[in-house]
Amino acid sequence: MRGRTLLIASALLALAACQTAHIEKAANGDFSIRYDHLKHGSLDADVAANRHCPRGVASMVSDADSVRTYHCDHLRRPH
Protein backbone atom coordinates (compact mmCIF):
# COMPACT_ATOMS: atom_id res chain seq x y z
CA MET A 1 0.00 0.00 0.00
CA ARG A 2 2.80 2.42 0.87
CA GLY A 3 4.53 1.71 -2.44
CA ARG A 4 1.35 2.49 -4.37
CA THR A 5 0.92 5.77 -2.48
CA LEU A 6 4.49 6.79 -3.28
CA LEU A 7 3.99 5.87 -6.93
CA ILE A 8 0.83 7.97 -7.17
CA ALA A 9 2.47 10.90 -5.40
CA SER A 10 5.48 10.81 -7.73
CA ALA A 11 3.20 10.59 -10.79
CA LEU A 12 1.24 13.65 -9.65
CA LEU A 13 4.47 15.55 -9.05
CA ALA A 14 5.69 14.63 -12.53
CA LEU A 15 2.42 15.82 -14.07
CA ALA A 16 2.69 19.14 -12.27
CA ALA A 17 6.23 19.58 -13.56
CA CYS A 18 5.09 18.90 -17.13
CA GLN A 19 2.85 21.95 -17.16
CA THR A 20 5.60 23.99 -18.74
CA ALA A 21 4.07 26.59 -20.95
CA HIS A 22 1.05 28.65 -21.69
CA ILE A 23 0.96 29.39 -25.41
CA GLU A 24 -0.63 32.62 -26.63
CA LYS A 25 -1.18 33.40 -30.31
CA ALA A 26 0.15 36.70 -31.59
CA ALA A 27 0.08 38.53 -34.92
CA ASN A 28 1.79 37.33 -38.12
CA GLY A 29 1.90 33.70 -37.04
CA ASP A 30 4.02 34.48 -34.00
CA PHE A 31 3.17 32.99 -30.63
CA SER A 32 4.34 33.67 -27.11
CA ILE A 33 5.14 31.13 -24.43
CA ARG A 34 4.84 32.04 -20.77
CA TYR A 35 6.66 29.83 -18.32
CA ASP A 36 7.40 29.86 -14.61
CA HIS A 37 11.15 30.42 -14.40
CA LEU A 38 11.18 29.04 -10.85
CA LYS A 39 9.98 25.63 -12.10
CA HIS A 40 11.26 25.54 -15.67
CA GLY A 41 14.11 26.94 -17.68
CA SER A 42 14.10 28.68 -21.02
CA LEU A 43 15.05 25.39 -22.67
CA ASP A 44 11.65 24.01 -21.61
CA ALA A 45 10.01 26.92 -23.44
CA ASP A 46 12.12 26.14 -26.53
CA VAL A 47 11.00 22.51 -26.47
CA ALA A 48 7.35 23.56 -26.08
CA ALA A 49 7.73 25.95 -29.02
CA ASN A 50 9.18 23.25 -31.26
CA ARG A 51 6.34 20.90 -30.28
CA HIS A 52 3.80 23.63 -31.06
CA CYS A 53 5.04 24.04 -34.65
CA PRO A 54 3.71 21.48 -37.16
CA ARG A 55 7.17 20.76 -38.59
CA GLY A 56 8.85 20.99 -35.21
CA VAL A 57 11.06 23.99 -35.93
CA ALA A 58 10.54 27.29 -34.10
CA SER A 59 12.75 30.37 -34.07
CA MET A 60 12.80 32.74 -31.13
CA VAL A 61 11.80 36.29 -32.07
CA SER A 62 12.14 37.95 -28.66
CA ASP A 63 12.96 37.07 -25.07
CA ALA A 64 11.60 38.80 -21.97
CA ASP A 65 11.31 37.77 -18.35
CA SER A 66 9.45 34.41 -18.38
CA VAL A 67 7.94 35.13 -21.82
CA ARG A 68 9.45 34.15 -25.15
CA THR A 69 7.99 34.90 -28.58
CA TYR A 70 8.55 32.44 -31.41
CA HIS A 71 7.72 31.95 -35.06
CA CYS A 72 7.30 28.59 -36.82
CA ASP A 73 10.01 28.50 -39.49
CA HIS A 74 7.91 26.94 -42.22
CA LEU A 75 5.54 29.94 -42.01
CA ARG A 76 8.23 32.53 -42.70
CA ARG A 77 7.98 34.35 -45.98
CA PRO A 78 11.15 34.75 -48.04
CA HIS A 79 12.56 38.28 -48.02
Residue 62 within any structural domain of the chain: yes
4 CB neighbour count, 10 Å cutoff: 8
Nearest-angstrom CA–CA distance, 51 and 10 = 25
Q: Which domain holds residue 42?
A: 20-75
Residue 40 within any structural domain of the chain: yes
Nearest-angstrom CA–CA distance, 10 and 24 = 29
* Residue 6 or 14, more confident: 6
Residue 8 within any structural domain of the chain: no
Total domains in the chain come to 1
The secondary structure element, H or E, covering residue 61 is strand 58-64
Residue 4 within any structural domain of the chain: no
Tell me the pTM: 0.65
Q: Checking DSSP bridges between strand 21-25 and strand 30-35, what pairing results, if any?
A: antiparallel
Task: State which amino acid sits at residue 45.
Answer: A
Write down the pLDDT at residue 1: 67
Average pLDDT value for residue range 28-42: 85
